[in-house]
């Protein structure tokens, strides 16, 4: 069982009442699902001469593509940028300190979104109609709607990379979606959700603080804290 399938099996056990202490084997170490989530952090410095093998990247991507999407539309389009020339083009489209992450990490993934994805053969009959009406019922464009679907893949990818012993840094700091589209050859109508740098951390990092549960989780109605934690 691959790393992320083990993670999903653990998650299913938690949801459906099995033990939450199931373990995922990663190299010489073993992590619980909670351990993988807690281990992930946004990395700031990279081992520049250490690359991630293609086979590991392929394995991660295969299971990232299993992330859910509305009506199974699967609008995600993932561009892996790992060559010197590709990194330089993408770095030129990034803002602030993010060019360094693109250049120094092993590779980056541009998570793009097709706002008009071809429906899979097993899509429900009503799927096409729903997609045409989506912009009428939501305060967002089809591109923004597609980007929301892609963020589920991003979450899968961050955990999958962590399960493989890799580090990541998800970045929205790019000069413009158009600049990223030009850097990686995306069609003009595609959205750009996020760029994720991937590789090996130069030194151990830590997860930034999170707001307490009582401030952000509510029961039944906003303002009613969930529990007393």
**Helix 142-163 × helix 54-64 angle, to 10°:** 130
Structure tokens at 31: 């992590």
Residue 5 has pLDDT above 60, yes or no: no
CATH class of 41-206: alpha beta
Residue 47 CA to residue 108 CA, distance in Å, equals 14
DSSP assignment, residue 179? H
More confident residue, 35 or 9: 35
pLDDT, tens digit, 9 for 90 and up, residues 149-202: 999 999 999 999 999 999 999 999 999 999 999 999 999 999 999 999 999 999
pLDDT, tens digit, 9 for 90 and up, residues 13-61: 433 344 444 444 444 356 788 999 999 999 999 999 999 999 999 999 9
Structure tokens at 99: 């060019």
What is the distance, to the nearest Å, from the Cα of residue 12 to the centroid of all Cα atoms in its chain? 20
Sign, CA dihedral 174-179-181-187, equals positive
Whole-number Cα distances in Å, 44 to 104, 163, 203: 10, 19, 9
Give pairs for 52-56: CB < 8 Å, separation 24+. 52/106, 52/107, 52/166, 52/198, 52/199, 52/200, 56/164, 56/166
Kindly report the length of the chain. Answer: 229
Structure tokens at 198: 């991937």
Residue (of 49, 26, 48) closest to 39 by Cα position: 26
SS3 141: coil
What are the backbone angles phi and psi of residue 193, rounded to the nearest 5°? -80, -50
pLDDT, tens digit, 9 for 90 and up, residues 110-164: 999 999 888 777 666 666 666 666 654 565 688 998 999 999 999 999 999 999 9
C-beta of residue 162 within 8 angstroms of C-beta of residue 7: no
Q: How many C-beta atoms lie closer than 10 Å to residue 29's C-beta?
A: 11
Q: How many C-beta atoms lie closer than 10 Å to residue 35's C-beta?
A: 17
Residue 84 CA to residue 16 CA, distance in Å, equals 46
DSSP assignment, residue 122? T
């Amino acid at each position: 069982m691959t790393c992320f399938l083990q993670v999903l099996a653990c998650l299913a056990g938690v949801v459906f009442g099995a033990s939450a202490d199931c373990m995922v084997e990663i190299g010489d170490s073993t992590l619980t699902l909670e351990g993988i989530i807690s281990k992930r952090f946004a990395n700031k410095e990279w081992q520049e001469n250490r690359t991630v093998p293609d086979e590991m990247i392929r394995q991660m991507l295969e299971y990232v593509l299993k992330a859910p999407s509305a009506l199974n539309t699967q609008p995600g389009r993932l561009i892996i940028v790992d060559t010197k020339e590709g990194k330089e083009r993408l770095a030129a489209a990034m803002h602030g300190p993010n060019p360094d992450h693109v250049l120094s990490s092993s590779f980056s993934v541009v998570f793009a979104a097709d706002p008009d994805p071809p429906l899979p053969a097993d899509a429900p009959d009503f799927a096409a109609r729903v997609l045409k009406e989506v912009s009428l019922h939501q305060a967002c464009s089809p591109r923004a709607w597609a980007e929301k679907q892609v963020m589920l893949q991003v979450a899968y990818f961050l955990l999958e990379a962590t399960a493989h012993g890799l580090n990541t840094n998800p970045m929205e700091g790019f000069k413009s979606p158009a600049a990223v589209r030009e850097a990686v050859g995306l069609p003009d109508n595609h959205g750009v959700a996020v760029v994720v740098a991937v590789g090996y951390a130069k030194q151990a990092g830590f997860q930034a603080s999170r707001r307490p549960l009582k401030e952000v989780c509510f029961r039944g109605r906003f303002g009613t804290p969930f529990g007393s934690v």
